[in-house]
């Protein structure tokens, strides 16, 4: 971020005027009616108070420290083998003595018997009750059981967990083929990661050797698999492989594509397009764990089994970091949180996606796996090449004091396409933001010579301090690597300024701000975050230089050149200005609310 500070302030004044609902003359002189003006909603009163507001420039660098060196982590209780989905089903349905419910039985991955041998051994329970021998994969099958039979299974050593056949989550991230001009390096460039790699000589190759080994930074990707045949991920980069869907497979593959894309963001070499598609930590090694049979069928039981496998194989493969770009909204999963804490106790950092909601997210949509206290969860922002900085509206949000940990680029990220050898594909989602942070953690390990005190440098966005949308704020990649290396030299500037405001607004008010655009080369990003969780409605308007929003006592919404009037707790306007000068930004309130405004671009305060 540009370090220049602007201290000039706009004086505050208050006046009243009428809101003219168009049947006014628009900018081109054509009469328009309310039916042709999509931004008109019902206001509580026919009058709107206009407030001219202050804003301030910001480069508030804060630190987020996750220390896996500490002597004692969370005390771990022995988790129940009956997972929450099955518990809820049993509690909501009081079973008669012989009444049955369909159950997913998951054996431990290291059980000394196969599931066929287990079923034969426990034939008194399973005789005539098997409903799907395939279940969620090699360690799972489904059966219709009574409450007493479920209780008998709980006490068997081979059982990893019991749940329901619908206890599944999905991958996060959707293909975005509209973007084709800006590549993975655009995100690493704008965060300062790319320059940080160069300035401090880090790639994730911790042992300095040409071949990959457990002595490098190693990232375990729990996902749909990894295509080891893609040129960005070949050459021995994948040190280990475990398939919970097709347990007989011994070679890494990805029949769905999501995990390959995620892995190449974290650690792809970019060999298929040198200098353009390079991942965050191209010298890091990978371990692939497949838990999904389809993009919408990633078994929670497979995930828990996979976490156990990663912890057990930490020393075998040198696993330092887990990335998991899958999940679902819902209540905190205590069993998963237990595994995350166990991983932390073993020096493994777990990074997960905050989650996405197609069409835009509301409060309370945060990924259930992101709610664990020891997890690092990542929201999705668009970088300046994609019109940012702004929060992607699909990025899931928390509630109350719970939200993602931080934010990183995940919008229109182009990375390896599975089963193509050397092609690339663009995805958007927190699935893409999460491996940005997992890869950065791999660089930090090398820069710090293996320190498990991860000290992330962050710029505050949204509400001041930690919030339920951006978390602690936007990652500062260069500053993070610099701090990990202990260096006092080196700097980074992405030539974007950040200006912010935060205030309360009453219904039937409009707050107006002036922002000076200094260049037409960069996008001008405006992001309004409504902090209220009650559905409070605010809209965002922008008037170009030389156009006054208030004319002859009337508020001229029809003269705004840009507007955003949705129903979600966020309004975003990002565009390339056609002229420099002072733009007026208006926040119109239909309800009383608290909000934060962030502007990014080549801008300043007049």
Scanning 515-573, the segments in alpha helix (DSSP H) are: none
Q: Which residues are catalytic?
A: 223, 258, 431
Q: Do 451 and 585 sit in the same domain of this protein? A: no
Q: Do 197 and 311 sit in the same domain of this protein? A: yes
What digits encode the pLDDT tens for the residues 183-220? 788 999 999 999 999 999 999 999 999 999 999 999 99
Which pLDDT score is estimated for 305? Answer: 97
Which pLDDT score is estimated for 175? Answer: 76
Q: CATH number of the domain at 198, please.
A: 3.40.50.200
252, containing H or E segment: none
Q: Do 283 and 421 sit in the same domain of this protein? A: yes
Q: Do 181 and 158 sit in the same domain of this protein? A: no
Query: Helix and strand tally (H, E) in the chain?
Result: 12, 36
Q: Check whether 257 has a pLDDT greater than 50.
A: yes
Q: Do 507 and 474 sit in the same domain of this protein? A: no
Which pLDDT score is estimated for 52? Answer: 85
Q: Check whether 496 has a pLDDT greater than 60.
A: yes
Q: Which residue has the higher pLDDT, 55 or 350?
A: 350
Q: What percent of the chain has pLDDT over 70?
A: 89
Query: Does some domain include residue 278?
Result: yes
Query: Does some domain include residue 512?
Result: yes
Q: Which residue has the higher pLDDT, 181 or 494?
A: 494
What digits encode the pLDDT tens for the residues 500-520? 999 999 999 999 999 999 999
Is-contact 474 461, C-beta < 8 A?
yes
Question: Structurally, how many domains does the chain consist of?
Answer: 3
Q: What percent of the chain has pLDDT over 90?
A: 79
Please name the residues in contact with 604: beta carbons below 8 A apart, sequence gap of 6 or more: 6, 57, 497, 499, 515, 516, 518
Residue after which a domain boundary falls, among 139, 166, 193: 166
Q: CATH number of the domain at 152, please.
A: 3.30.70
Query: Does some domain include residue 120?
Result: yes
Q: Do 176 and 322 sit in the same domain of this protein? A: yes
Q: Do 416 and 503 sit in the same domain of this protein? A: no
Q: Which bin fits 412, alpha (ψ -120 to 50), beta or left (φ > 0)? A: left
Containing structural domain, residue 130 = 84-166
Residue after which a domain boundary falls, among 166, 195, 220: 166
Overall average pLDDT of the 144-163 stretch? 96
Q: Which residue has the tokens 């009428």?
A: 18
Q: Do 322 and 450 sit in the same domain of this protein? A: yes
Q: Do 198 and 284 sit in the same domain of this protein? A: yes
Which pLDDT score is estimated for 51? Answer: 87
Nearest to 101 by CA among 131, 121, 133, 137: 131
pLDDT band of residue 71 (cuts 50, 70, 90) is: very low
CA–CA gap between residue 302 and residue 38 (Å, rounded): 47
pLDDT band of residue 92 (cuts 50, 70, 90) is: confident
Which pLDDT score is estimated for 242? Answer: 98
Q: Do 143 and 190 sit in the same domain of this protein? A: no
Query: Does some domain include residue 598?
Result: yes
Which pLDDT score is estimated for 48? Answer: 80
Beta bridge partners of 162: 82, 105
pLDDT band of residue 176 (cuts 50, 70, 90) is: confident
Q: Which bin fits 605, alpha (ψ -120 to 50), beta or left (φ > 0)? A: beta
What digits encode the pLDDT tens for the residues 558-583? 999 999 999 999 999 999 999 999 99
Q: Find the range with the poorest average confidence among 55-59, 190-194, 212-216, 469-473.
A: 55-59
pLDDT band of residue 165 (cuts 50, 70, 90) is: very high
Q: CATH number of the domain at 47, please.
A: 2.60.120.380
What digits encode the pLDDT tens for the residues 108-136? 999 999 999 999 999 999 999 999 999 99
Q: Do 248 and 319 sit in the same domain of this protein? A: yes
What would the DSSP string read from start to end of 256-275?
SSHHHHHHHHHH---TTSTT
Query: Does some domain include residue 4?
Result: no
pLDDT band of residue 5 (cuts 50, 70, 90) is: very low
Q: Check whether 142 has a pLDDT greater than 70.
A: yes
Q: Do 246 and 269 sit in the same domain of this protein? A: yes
Which pLDDT score is estimated for 32? Answer: 23
Which pLDDT score is estimated for 200? Answer: 98
Query: Does some domain include residue 74?
Result: no
Nearest to 264 by CA among 276, 255, 250: 276
Is-contact 575 48, C-beta < 8 A?
no
Which pLDDT score is estimated for 396? Answer: 98
- Highest mean pLDDT out of 11-25, 268-282, 432-446, 538-552: 432-446
Token pair of 431, please? 């699935």
Query: Does some domain include residue 470?
Result: yes
What digits encode the pLDDT tens for the residues 517-552? 999 999 999 999 999 999 999 999 999 999 999 888
Query: Does some domain include residue 559?
Result: yes
Which pLDDT score is estimated for 96? Answer: 65
Q: Which residue has the higher pLDDT, 260 or 12?
A: 260
Q: Check whether 237 has a pLDDT greater than 90.
A: yes
Which pLDDT score is estimated for 180? Answer: 53
Beta bridge partners of 377: 352
Which pLDDT score is estimated for 53? Answer: 85
What digits encode the pLDDT tens for the residues 300-348? 999 999 999 999 999 999 999 999 999 999 999 999 999 999 999 999 9
Residue after which a domain boundary falls, among 485, 511, 532: 485
Please name the residues in contact with 571: beta carbons below 8 A apart, sequence gap of 6 or more: 527, 528, 538, 539, 540, 564, 565
């Amino acid at each position: 971020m540009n370090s220049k500070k602007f201290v000039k302030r706009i004086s505050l004044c208050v006046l009243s005027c009428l809101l003219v609902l168009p049947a006014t003359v628009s900018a081109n002189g054509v009469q328009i009616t309310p039916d042709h003006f999509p931004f008109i909603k019902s206001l509580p009163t026919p009058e709107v108070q206009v407030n001219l507001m202050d804003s301030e420039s910001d480069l508030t660098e804060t630190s987020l420290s996750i220390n896996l060196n500490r002597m004692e982590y969370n005390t771990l209780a022995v988790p129940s083998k009956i997972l929450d989905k099955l518990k809820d089903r049993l509690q909501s349905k009081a079973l008669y003595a012989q009444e049955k419910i369909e159950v997913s039985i998951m054996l431990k991955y290291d059980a000394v018997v196969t599931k066929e041998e287990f079923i034969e051994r426990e034939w008194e329970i399973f005789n005539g009750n098997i409903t799907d021998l395939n279940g969620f994969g090699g360690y799972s099958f489904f059966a219709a059981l009574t409450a007493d039979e479920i209780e008998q299974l709980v006490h068997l050593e081979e059982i990893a967990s019991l749940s329901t056949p619908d206890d599944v989550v999905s991958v996060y991230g959707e293909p975005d083929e509209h973007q084709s001009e800006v590549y993975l390096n655009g995100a690493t460039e704008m965060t300062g990661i790319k320059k940080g790699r160069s300035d401090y000589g880090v790639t994730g190759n911790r042992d300095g050797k040409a071949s990959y080994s457990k002595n490098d930074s190693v990232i375990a990707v729990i996902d749909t698999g990894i295509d080891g045949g893609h040129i960005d991920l070949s050459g021995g980069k994948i040190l280990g492989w475990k398939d919970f869907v097709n347990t007989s497979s011994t070679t890494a593959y990805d029949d769905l594509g999501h995990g390959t894309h995620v892995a190449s963001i974290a650690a792809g070499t970019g060999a298929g397009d040198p200098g353009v598609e390079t991942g965050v930590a191209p010298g890091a090694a990978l371990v692939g764990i497949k838990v999904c049979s389809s993009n919408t069928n990633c078994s929670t039981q497979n995930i828990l089994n996979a976490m156990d496998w990663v912890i057990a194989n930490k020393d075998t493969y040198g696993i330092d970091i887990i990335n998991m770009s899958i999940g679902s909204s819902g209540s905190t999963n205590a069993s998963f949180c237990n595994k995350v804490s166990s991983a932390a106790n073993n020096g493994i950092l777990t990074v997960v996606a905050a989650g996405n909601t197609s069409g835009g997210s509301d409060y309370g949509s945060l990924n259930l796996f992101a709610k664990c206290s020891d997890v690092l969860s990542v929201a999705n922002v668009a970088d300046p090449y994609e019109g940012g900085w702004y929060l992607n509206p699909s990025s899931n949000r928390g509630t109350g004091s719970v939200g993602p940990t931080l934010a990183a680029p995940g919008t229109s990220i182009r990375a390896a396409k599975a089963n193509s050898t050397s092609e690339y594909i663009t995805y958007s989602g927190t699935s893409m933001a999460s491996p940005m942070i997992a890869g950065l953690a791999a660089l930090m390990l090398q820069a710090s010579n293996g320190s498990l005190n991860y000290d992330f440098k962050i710029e505050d966005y949204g509400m001041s301090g930690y919030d339920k949308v951006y978390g602690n704020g936007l990652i500062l990649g260069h500053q993070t690597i610099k701090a990990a290396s202990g260096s006092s030299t080196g700097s980074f500037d992405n030539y974007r300024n950040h200006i912010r405001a935060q205030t309360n607004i009453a219904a039937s008010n409009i707050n107006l701000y002036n922002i000076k655009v200094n260049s037409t080369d960069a996008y001008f990003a405006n992001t309004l975050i409504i902090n209220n969780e009650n559905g409070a409605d605010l809209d965002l308007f922008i008037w170009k230089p030389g156009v006054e929003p208030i004319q002859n006592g009337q508020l001229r919404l029809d003269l705004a050149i840009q507007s955003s009037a949705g129903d979600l707790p966020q309004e975003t306007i990002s565009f390339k200005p056609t002229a420099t000068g002072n733009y007026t930004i208006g926040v119109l309130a239909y309800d009383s609310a608290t909000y934060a405004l962030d502007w990014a671009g080549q801008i300043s305060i007049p």
